[in-house]
Structure 1
């Protein structure tokens, strides 16, 4: 298991998929260990250039990078057209 220090981050290519639908996209992810619940929380955004038309806010997705794969949830779409990704536990980076 990979250990992550507070402030760990990843910027680069990722595969985001749900129910047989997948895209390749650039992502910016970061995270930190939260001492209150003892869990690593990670989050980030999918680049606006990605075709995310097959996704909706609230979707459960799998996010994969060259470093691993992790379950996540998509949340708000910001004014620049980027979905927010959130996850807990071992991140995909």
Structure 2
């Protein structure tokens, strides 16, 4: 499962590239990916804030900011139900998948 499109973090609209997988070791769904470069999100991380809420459509999930990459993007991870709507699964037709 994956999602590429708009999302919200702390009142800022960003573009994300996310994917996820079922982890048999702990029996939970792990998802994560990259937030395209955004100075406000990078500043959140640099100021020490790692725990955030990621909003996609009407779904809000707790997430963790990991690091800023050399291009200014930010790695984000989460555990549990993914933040993207089920209609954004592969093969679905949705505006959320357009880039």
Query: TM-score, normalised to structure 1's length?
Result: 0.80
Aligned equivalents of 2:76 and 2:42: distance in 1? 15
Count residues with an aligned counterpart: 81
Are residue 12 (structure 1) and residue 5 (structure 2) matched?
A: yes
Partner residue of 2:18 out of 14, 19, 29: 29
SS at match of 1:87: strand
- Residue pair 1:69, 1:91 contacting (<8 A) in 2 also: no
Structure 2 portions without partners, runs of 5+: 85-99
Deviation beyond 4 Å, 4+ runs, structure 1? none
Are residue 74 (structure 1) and residue 65 (structure 2) matched?
A: yes
Aligned equivalents of 2:43 and 2:75: distance in 1? 15
- Residue pair 2:55, 2:83 contacting (<8 A) in 1 also: yes
State the Cα distance separating 1:53 from its structure 2 match: 4.5
Which structure's residues are more often strand, by fraction? 1
Does 1 or 2 have the higher relative contact order (CA < 8 Å, sep 6+)?
2
Query: TM-score, normalised to structure 2's length?
Result: 0.75
Structure 1 portions without partners, runs of 5+: 1-7
- Residue pair 2:42, 2:73 contacting (<8 A) in 1 also: no
Q: What is the Cα-based RMSD across aligned positions, in Å?
A: 1.5
